[in-house]
Amino acid sequence: MYGMLGRMKAAPGKREELLALLLESSADMPGCLSYIVAKDATDPDAIWITEAWDSKEHHDASLKLPQVQAAIAKARPLIAGFDSRAETQPVGGIGLGRVPAPKG
């Protein structure tokens, strides 16, 4: 399994528009177990994205989907930057759906 956490900064005053765009483009992504978009509680322009995928290959393939490519093009002018990113290996949890038993 593959996971990613990231913090994105919207251009000032554009967070709501960016949130809507991220949410509308995230449906029907093969291999996606969880895709959560959240407002940062202390920064009015920051967004956190938490993802869980069957594999890194599924994540990478999602970036080539037509709806994701269109969302990226629309989102570029709304994004001020990225300031935190981490890759993870999810092992389970509520909402992950089909999770294999941990090995070892």
Rounded to two decimals, the pTM is 0.84
Phi, psi of 10 (to 5 degrees): -80, 155
pLDDT in tens, 46-69: 999 999 999 999 999 999 999 889
Closest by CA position to 9, among listed 40, 37, 47: 47
Indicate the average pLDDT of the chain: 90
pLDDT at 87: 96
In the three-class reduction of DSSP (H, G, I as helix; E, B as strand; rest coil), residue 33 is classed as strand
